[in-house]
Amino acid sequence: MRMRRLRSIRRHATVRALCLGLALAALAILLAGSDASADSASSGTVLVAAATSAQETFNKQCGACHMAYPPVFLPARSWQAITGDLRHHFGEDASLDKATTKAIAEYLMANAADRAPGAPASLLRGIGADEAPLRITDTPFWRSIHGNIPDSVFARPEVKTRSNCLGCHVAN
Amino acid sequence: MQIDKSLPVALAMIAVSLLSSLAAFAAVGAAQQAVIDHYAAAAKAADPGFKSFSADRGHAFFLAKHDANADTPSCSTCHTADPRQPGQTRVGKAIDPMAVSVNPQRFTDLEKIELWFRRNCNTVLGRECTVLEKGDYVTFMASQ
């Protein structure tokens, strides 16, 4: 099933571009993971109250409705804008209490494209310093990889929308 | 004397074990009932004429269409018309069923319930839900 799905996508996009995207996605996940382990290692002691890290909070709260997008795909100013108005979040009220919102905002901004250590410069290519894209799918980086994929692929029931990365990129 | 002392202890142990097995038996829906009781107290405070919540009203509310948001006109837009089935968010993520019979963890955590009522009522209705709407909704889901 997965192979068939990926094969049909390859018909429309170059294999090279897809592989680059997957490699970067894997890199992003690795970056996010290493940051979290560095945080807990540097704190020295493990407190019960600190057992829920900011990343876990982000995964739980934001991941309740959509994939917990790797923060490295947007600059910090984008995450600031998004977390600054969760009451109006792409047509839905996704607001959280102040402390939770702050923890998530800090985590996203610290791991953003312009702040995460080792983040590839290509993630920010074509985004003006005064621009804060609110959708990963609006970034030149995303478009350069997915630009050739026709609307019909995104309209498939198992994909539904460009925002559903895991509709095509099946995680193992 | 020895018997006099141990008899009450033995009786107490039997009573405790009976009570705990009764509690285990009654635990199904107890958490949801506590939530419904919480909303009932609030409804009574707001309207002294309040009698009880209605699963039928909750069902109608669940299916009702509103015009505040074209993408999400109804609770059932994401949860589907059958609360025993899993739903789907607008970006394709699965939502666990709302019906308590297939998902006993539903409506057991008041803080979580209030968070989602606030957000989803604002999204679907363009306003917060009333206590009556919340109580009816939970009563309906607890009956499913």
pLDDT of residue B24: 40
pLDDT of residue B42: 98
> For residues B140 and B144, what is the distance between their CA atoms, to the nearest angstrom?
6
pLDDT beyond 80 at B25? no
> For residues A153 and B27, what is the distance between their CA atoms, to the nearest angstrom?
47
Average pLDDT over every residue of B28-54: 94
Res. B49 pLDDT band, cuts 50 70 90? very high
Domain positions in chain B: 2-143
- Give the one of B90, B91, B119 whose C-beta lies nearest to A93's C-beta: B119
pLDDT of B116-143, one tens digit each? 999 999 999 999 999 999 999 999 999 9
Intervals of chain A under pLDDT 50: 1-23, 26-51
Where would I find the beta strands (DSSP E) of B54-137? 87-88, 94-95
The sign one gets for the Cα dihedral A163, B68, B114, A88 is: positive
Within 8 A of B118 by CB-CB distance, chain A residues are 93, 95
Average pLDDT over every residue of B97-101: 97
pLDDT of residue B65: 98
pLDDT of residue A79: 98
Within 8 A of A65 by CB-CB distance, chain B residues are 89-91, 93
pLDDT of residue B11: 61
pLDDT of residue A8: 47
**Cβ–Cβ contacts within 10 Å for residue B4, how many?**
7
Q: How far is CA A120 from CA A92, A115, A123, A139, in A?
A: 32, 11, 6, 14
- Give the one of A65, A95, A159 whose C-beta lies nearest to B93's C-beta: A65
**Cβ–Cβ contacts within 10 Å for residue B53, how many?**
22
Residue A41, min C-alpha distance to chain B (Å):
31
Within 8 A of A61 by CB-CB distance, chain B residues are none
CA-based nearest residue to B73, from B137, B141, B120: B120
Specify the CATH number of the domain B2-143.
1.10.760.10
Classified as helix, coil or strand, A92 is strand
Average pLDDT over every residue of B20-39: 72
pLDDT of residue B29: 86
The number of residues making up chain B comes to 144
What secondary structure letter does DSSP report for A45?
S
What percent of chain B lies above the pLDDT cut of 70?
A: 81
Decide if A95 touches B, using CB distance below 8 A.
yes
Decide if A65 touches B, using CB distance below 8 A.
yes
Give me chain B's average pLDDT, please: 88
For residue B115, what are the contacts with CB-CB under 8 A and spacing of at least 6? A96
pLDDT of residue B9: 61
> For residues B62 and B81, what is the distance between their CA atoms, to the nearest angstrom?
8
Residue of chain B minimizing CA distance to A97: B115
B72 vs B23, which has greater pLDDT? B72
